[in-house]
């Protein structure tokens, strides 16, 4: 094998190694970002423009649980262990994701939307920041943020 052949083989190997390392740096790599919204989440705090509520200050214990069913995917909100609300994911319009910013804009049946931002640190449950379920993102009601942590099973 000549010098140009060896150089080509070394270049290909370096390209494969560099590309695979970069892929593993992203802890959300490998699946659509919206799949990480699934599972069970516990509300940790609510932040409004004027105050932050945590624990008993919130006034209720909230669990957000996402389940896949025959008629679609549904967010179920439980407050104090009682079903409070449920929202079915819309397929049209679909989700809008930004993998770089780790954000998802989810559309629900009935025209509601909810904005999510995901984060993860090694050794800790995944964290999620969410807006309320809103008819329009970017309004005054959009200034309230809900912070959840993933319940590990």
**Tokens 């995917």 found at:** 73
Q: Residue 106: which pLDDT band, with cuts at 50, 70 and 90?
A: very high
Q: Is the pLDDT of residue 53 over 90?
A: yes
Q: Which of 119, 117, 121 is nearest to 129 (CA)?
A: 117
64-73 per-position pLDDT tens digit: 999 988 888 9
Select the more confidently predicted residue: 135 or 21. 135
Give the pTM. 0.77
């Amino acid at each position: 094998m000549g010098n140009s052949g060896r150089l080509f083989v070394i270049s290909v190997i370096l390209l494969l190694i560099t590309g695979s390392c970069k892929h593993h740096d992203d802890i959300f790599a490998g699946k659509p970002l919206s799949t990480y919204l699934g599972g069970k989440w516990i509300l940790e705090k609510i932040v409004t423009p004027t105050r932050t509520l945590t624990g008993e200050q919130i006034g209720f214990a909230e669990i957000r649980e996402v389940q896949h069913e025959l008629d679609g995917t549904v967010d179920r909100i439980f407050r104090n262990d009682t079903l409070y609300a449920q929202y079915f994911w819309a397929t049209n319009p679909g989700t809008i994701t930004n993998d770089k910013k780790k954000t998802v804009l989810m559309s629900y049946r009935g025209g509601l939307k909810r904005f999510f931002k995901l984060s993860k640190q090694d050794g800790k449950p995944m964290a999620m920041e969410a807006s309320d379920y809103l008819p329009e993102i970017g309004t005054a009601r959009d200034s309230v943020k809900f912070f959840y942590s993933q319940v590990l099973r």
